[in-house]
Structure formats: C-alpha cells, structure tokens
Structure 1
Amino acid sequence: MVSKTANVISPEQLPTEEELLAMPESDYMNEIQLAFFRNRLKELETEILNNAGATTENLRETQFVPDPADRATIEEEHALELRTRDRERKLLKKVQQAIASIDSGEYGWCEETGEPIGIARLLARPTATLSLEAQERREMRQKLYGD
C-alpha cells in the first residue's frame, strides 16, 4: 500500500492534531494522515540539520580566553553541544527511516506485531516503530535479560 498522493497535500490542508485524533479508526494511515506525519518529520529533519549547521559555526568560532576557569566553561559548553548533536544525529537517522517507511507504505504499523502503532503514540513520537505494548515487552526483556 504505497501512498503516492501524500506528497500533493499542501501544509495548509493538513489537519490539526485534534482533527487527526478525531478521525475514525477505519481511516488509520490514510493519505491525509500520512501527509501530516511526512510534513511533521520533514520539519523535524530540517530543524535537526539547521541545528547541526549552527553547531558547526559555533565550534569554528574559537575563542582564546586567558582565564582557565572560563576556558573550562567554554570547553564544557562545547562538549554538551556535541553530545546534543550526537543524539540529534541518531534521531535524524530515525526520522529519515520514518520518511522512507511512509514511502514504502509501512509507516504507522508495528514492525514486531503488524498492529497499528496508534495516532496518539505517533504524535508523541513520530519515529516510533513499535506499538506501545510491543515497546513495553521489549523494554521488559531488556530489563530482565539485558538484551
């Protein structure tokens, strides 16, 4: 079930989150919903890429500060910013995989059970690949067995 028309819905035509949640279950992952999530994921992708560019610029602006305490503070801020960008780099990969799953018609379906992930969960975490129940089972297994 590959949706090709999800690309042609303009952002102004996209529903609000409330309208999305109010849609009947029979409309799950229809073209409007797919277009909504594609738009949300594309915005997130753009934001992450912009943040990465800003970080690069910030790190290029090397500052010479004679005071060791000030230098340590700047280095700690740079380290924190790099950790944040590393998390965003991992998120970017998930965002791009989610966009690809929209293109392949697999978005919104649990990769473990094949059941719907649910609109509410996808609104909270648009990169989710597991239903809440499957995610809880996976976390429990990891806790018990250290997988």
Structure 2
Amino acid sequence: MTSQVRAIPVYTAKDYPRIRQLPGADDMPATWEEWHKDFEASKAERLHRRDFTHAKVLVRPGKLKGWLHENSFSATEHTRQLYAQERLDSKLARQEGRRELERILIASRQQLFIRPRRAAYHPLNNGLFGLFHAVVAGLVFAWLAHHWLG
C-alpha cells in the first residue's frame, strides 16, 4: 500500500558518514552539509509550489543496513527512497489503525449510554393472580379467626 504522501529520506549529521559507507551510497553528496544544503533548497522549492504531499522520514544507518541486507539491495538513491516510503506507509497504516480502533471504542461506548433502556414486560395471568390473592386472604382470615375466637 503506497500512500499519497511521498517520503523524503533525511539523515542526521552524525549518521550521514555511516550511511555513506554502505555499498551503493556513493551517489550521495560527500558531506552532510552539502546534502543538507540540497535538501533545504528542494524544501524551499516545494514550499514555493505549495506542494505539501511530502513527509520527512529519518533514516538510521543500522535499520537501513538491516533492511538492505534483508531485501538484498544496495544503498542507492532509489532504494533509500523505497525504504523511507515503506517506513512512512507503515507509520501511516498504524496511525489509521489506531484511529479506527478509537472510532470503534467511541461507537461502542455511545451504544452503551444511548441505547434505549427496555424493561421486560410479562403480563400477569389473571387466574393465578386471583388464586394467589384468594389463598393469602384465606390465610389472613384463618389467622384472625384463630386469634379472635381463641
């Protein structure tokens, strides 16, 4: 699943030399300062065009190296871009999953509180109801007669 947001791999000054040492990374500028200058220029151009469909993805050398090894790739510009896009898509999918779970929880809570309360209604059987009262009345009269008549 590729999102509509395009990933832009970014590097810290500390990590840049280690990433440049990876096989295939010789297409990168020699120093982080050069890379950063190019990055800022492209960022300014995107801002000028009002192109807000890009997201920065921080690339760490250890994780990139493991991903490259796992997929049998070298660290070319294309594969670094592919790695960053994969990380971004994964992050966006997790966020969407959390939002969906949140919506489900909110909906279930609303159902608990908004659901109409219904009391069970069982109509009384008049025959049994009358019989019960007759028995109780008979017992009350028998008790009264016993106490009054002694």
TM-score category, normalised to shorter length: under 0.3
TM-score, normalising length: structure 1: 0.27
As a proportion of its length, which structure holds more strand?
2
TM-score, normalising length: structure 2: 0.27
Larger radius of gyration, structure 1 or 2?
2
